[in-house]
Structure 1
């Protein structure tokens, strides 16, 4: 039952997430191409300089939580049950999306986004395995 629901919802969810990544949350086109390549340090600097906790939660945790559903891709595409295959495909995809943000200037190419998004996928993959073990009757 959960797998059927997931297969129906993952495509619209992906489109919604792409919308957010390029147009949502007050995005605008930058005058110059923007890139942040210092892993972890830029996120730590953002956390340190954030005015309100809600910005930290929205940006940092959002970059993780919003990608958790992609850890379940094995339900729709069985070859993605393998973590290595899933992560290779996801990292390739997210690098392309970050590059598109850079080239269209509708966002910033950020290495930390790639790391946080990938961590979200990994957490989703772990959660998927846990759900399959504990609630196998509901998953089918």
Structure 2
């Protein structure tokens, strides 16, 4: 476990120049969010490979999820002011195609697409961990409603754009969390 933690920190430090470039585009909290995700991923893979169980109290799960959510909200609502916000995109996959067209820096394109999916995976996992009988349909409804509120608030506060692609990718991330749950259940127990 300690070795995995050390590997995560080394990987994070070696890739720090990449994350620092993102702070010109996003709030510096992106570094903490990336560190958290990278560390958790390394610890999880280590436990999975070694067939070990990680047991955490429910209060710790709720606390980590609240802290992660706070970091994500800061990332979503407190962005550099040198960018244009307040736009609306209701055409599915328009921004995805724009990012893939080469008109945007590859780092920004990859980060935006991967982050819009990856940063929401924990919420699908969290839903499964706190429900006795998680249901995908219910999760999708909750995700669409919650993410629509966030998108609307970003637009109304001029801290982001109202973008159908963000909604689609975020919901995809939540659903991936749901699909990863059987794998996570092999490692993580909540008591």
TM-score (norm 1): 0.83
With CA pairs under 8 Å and 6+ residues apart, which has the higher RCO, 1 or 2? 1
- Alignment check: 8 A CA contact 1:79 1:85 kept: no
- The unaligned stretches of length 5 or more in structure 2 are 1-54
1:3 Cα shift?
A: 6.3
- Alignment check: 8 A CA contact 1:71 1:124 kept: yes
1:27 Cα shift?
A: 4.7
Runs of 4 or more off by more than 3 Å in structure 1?
2-5, 27-30
Which one of the candidate residues 137, 147, 155 is aligned to 1:84?
137
- Compute the RMSD of aligned alpha carbons: 2.3
Considering fraction of residues, name the structure with more helix.
1
The aligned residue for residue 101 of structure 1 is 154
Q: Residues 40, 29 of structure 1: CA spacing in aligned structure 2 closer, same or farther, 3 A cutoff? A: closer
The aligned residue for residue 6 of structure 1 is 61
Count of residues in correspondence between the two structures: 135
Which one of the candidate residues 42, 46, 54 is aligned to 2:99?
46
The aligned residue for residue 33 of structure 1 is 86
Bigger radius of gyration among the two? 2
Which one of the candidate residues 108, 111, 115 is aligned to 1:62?
115
1:84 Cα shift?
A: 1.1
TM-score (norm 2): 0.63
> How far, CA to CA, are the matches of 1:15 and 1:80 in structure 2?
27
